[in-house]
Each structure stands twice: as C-alpha cells, then as structure tokens.
Amino acid sequence: MRYVAFDAPGDPSVLHVAQGPVPELRPDEVLIEVEAAGVSRADTMQRKGLYPPPKGSSPILGLEVSGSITQLGSGVSHLAIGDRVVALCNGGGYAEYAAVPAGQVLPLPSQWSFVEGATLPENAFTVYDNLLTRARLREGELALIHGGTSGIGVMAIMFARAVRARAITTAGSEEKCRATLEFGAEAAIDYKNADFVEKVLEFTEKRGVDVVLDIVGGEYINRDLRALATDGRITCIAHAGGMESTIDLRYLIQRRASILGSSLRPRTSAEKAKIADGLRKEIWPLLPNRDPIFPVVDSVFTFSQAAEAHARLESSNHIGKIILVPDA
C-alpha cells in the first residue's frame, strides 16, 4: 500500500509517499480502506519529532480516517465488511489502509461524503470528551472557544449549539471572526486587536463565561480565569502558547473555578470506545440533518501533496479541516 512517510523529523518538505505492507489486524481491530484522512496539529508535531506515537501504535501519521471496512479482526462482531465508517486512529491514517480498534469506529453519517466524514473523528472525540463530559457544558450556559476557526474550534461551536448552550470565540482576523459567527457563535473577538478578557466581560455584563475551551495554554490560563463566571471551568487541551502558566489564585478561589487538562491519544482503546459510545447516542443522531453540526472543509490535498497540507495547517490561514485523500 502507499502511505505518507518521513525519514527524519523536519519541516513539511520531509513528507513523501512510500510503499509498505498492509497492516496486520489484531483480534479487536478492523481494516479500513481509507478514502480520506484528517490533518491535525498532532500530525505536524509528530513530523517534527515532538510527539512520538504511543507504544504499539503505527508510526505512520494520521489520527482520523473515513472509508470502508475490508476486513474484521477475529473478535469483532458488531461491524461488517463493506460498512462505510469514520474512525479515530491510534496512528496510521495517512495510508491506503488503516487498522483501527473496533470500538473507535462510528458509522459515516448519511448525507455526508467520505471527505466530509474525515472532519469528524478527532475533533468530535476531543470536543465531546472535554467540552461536554469533563467541563460539563450544559443547556443555557456560555462557552468561550479559543481558536474558533480551527477544526476543534468549529466543532466546539457546533457541539455547544447541539446541547443548547451558547458560544463566543476568539480568532485571529476579521474574516475568521465572521466565519465563527456563520458557524453559530454569538460573538467573536479578534484577539490580535482586542483583549479577549475585556471583551468577554463586556459581552456578558461582567458575569463571565461558564466554560473555556483553551488550545493555547501558557499565559492564556490566567486570563481565562479572569474571564470566568462563578463556578466556571477551564479545560486546556494544548499548549501552543507555552507549557507553563502563572495563576493568580485570587481568581481561582473567588470564582470557585476548576482547571482541567487532558490528552486523547495516549488513552486506552476502552477509554476511547467509551467516548465513541457517548457520541453515538448523543451526537450522531443529529448529523444527517447537518444542523447544528455540519462539515467545514478548508481544503483537500492528495497524499503526494501532504507537504502542502501541513504547510497550510502551520500557516494558520485555514478555516475548518484540511483533508488528505489517496492519489488516484
């Protein structure tokens, strides 16, 4: 099979197409013929040598795919050959075939193409677990979503609407702010030209937000605290802005705040399957109607254009999800 490889860590130019064997299945896995794969920040970090795959996982890049099942592991009974699916991978998504634990596989929503389906897995698993499960965003509450035009940000806006909560966002340009409003945000803050804390407090008449989904880390965490309402929760899932933060405990104590953190990839297959079960029950029934959750595809590249896809992601000019498809 063909897959996207790199021989040594580096910039996007190290990516190239290589030939290798089709993965061998473990008893609890299925083999998916990949029609499309999502591109994520985790992939770019792995390419740079900063995010090695967990022990036992495929070293090939790619954490989410859509396609059709072509083979079942000996212990899999709830799926069938030919099923059109999307899946959260532990690695190996940038390939013509991917072996995935069966518990991490969900049906491709009707009315969604394979390219559209590839926008779902990593973002849906991450947002459901962090925004809805861990941070407990509920109907009527208000969430602040940082990076509102990233794949995670777009999904978070829509998931908030799905549970009848509200969202405001930060983004890095007027164009991106307008886009988040189209995705369902009530307000958008251009963080390059305004202090998001001041704007949040102005928008909420000094009340603050109930939940912050933070993909920046660093000094943002203390600013998030200042933007929180009483009993507010911050869930931090990345640290692009730095791995250390100094927290003013006055805000933590006064607001009775909670700061949460998590990472998805290192978790066990059982833990990921539990998230998939929640998605299947609460979110998947909404997807065929494409409202309030709908696909936002920024661009589509072939495997041989993987370097361009990574460069596009790292430019931060994208809005929505960048997708890779096998070369014809």
pLDDT, tens digit, for every residue of 264-281? 999 999 999 999 999 999
| Predicted local distance difference test score (pLDDT) of residue 121 | 98
Per-residue pLDDT of 80-122, as tens digits, reads 999 999 999 999 999 999 999 999 999 999 999 999 999 999 9
- Helix spans in 142-300 (H): 151-162, 174-183, 196-203, 220-226, 249-254, 269-282
Residue 125: which pLDDT band, with cuts at 50, 70 and 90? very high
Q: Which CATH class is domain 124-261?
A: alpha beta
pLDDT > 70 in the chain, percent? 100
| Predicted local distance difference test score (pLDDT) of residue 39 | 98
Are residues 144 and 209 in contact, defined by beta-carbon separation less than 8 angstroms?
yes
Instruction: Identify the CATH homologous superfamily for domain 2-120+265-325.
Output: Medium-chain alcohol dehydrogenases, catalytic domain (3.90.180.10)
- DSSP character at residue 95: B
* 23-29: average pLDDT: 97
Are residues 6 and 303 in contact, defined by beta-carbon separation less than 8 angstroms?
no
* 245-251: average pLDDT: 94
Residue 241: which pLDDT band, with cuts at 50, 70 and 90? confident
Question: Phi-psi category of 63—alpha, beta or left, where left has phi over 0 and alpha has psi -120 to 50?
Answer: alpha
| Predicted local distance difference test score (pLDDT) of residue 307 | 98
* First-to-final CA distance of the chain: 13
Q: What is the Cα–Cα distance from 98 to 60, expressed in whole angstroms?
A: 10
* 27-38: average pLDDT: 98
* 127-156: average pLDDT: 97
| Predicted local distance difference test score (pLDDT) of residue 202 | 98
CATH 3.90.180.10 intervals, the chain: 2-120+265-325
Are residues 194 and 171 in contact, defined by beta-carbon separation less than 8 angstroms?
no
pLDDT at 240 over 90: no
Give the residue with greater pLDDT, 231 vs 54.
231
CATH 3.40.50.720 intervals, the chain: 124-261
Angle (nearest 5°) at CA 83 between 80 and 88: 100
Per-residue pLDDT of 287-307, as tens digits, reads 999 999 999 999 999 999 999
Which residue pairs, CB below 8 angstroms and at least 24 apart, start in 198-207?
Answer: 200/144, 200/168, 200/227, 201/227, 203/168, 204/142, 204/229
User: Scanning the structure block, which residue is given the tokens 């999307």?
Assistant: 86
Output phi, psi for 161, to 5 deg.
-65, -35
User: Edge-to-edge strand order for the sheet containing 166-171?
Assistant: 187-190, 166-171, 142-145, 209-214, 228-236, 258-261
One-letter amino acid for residue 101 of the chain: P
User: Where is 36: in which H helix or E strand?
Assistant: strand 29-39
pLDDT > 90 in the chain, percent? 98
Per-residue pLDDT of 157-189, as tens digits, reads 999 999 999 999 999 999 999 999 999 999 999
| Predicted local distance difference test score (pLDDT) of residue 247 | 93
Q: What is the Cα–Cα distance from 296 to 319, expressed in whole angstroms?
A: 8
From 22-31, 33-42, 130-139, 233-242, the region with the lowest mean pLDDT: 233-242
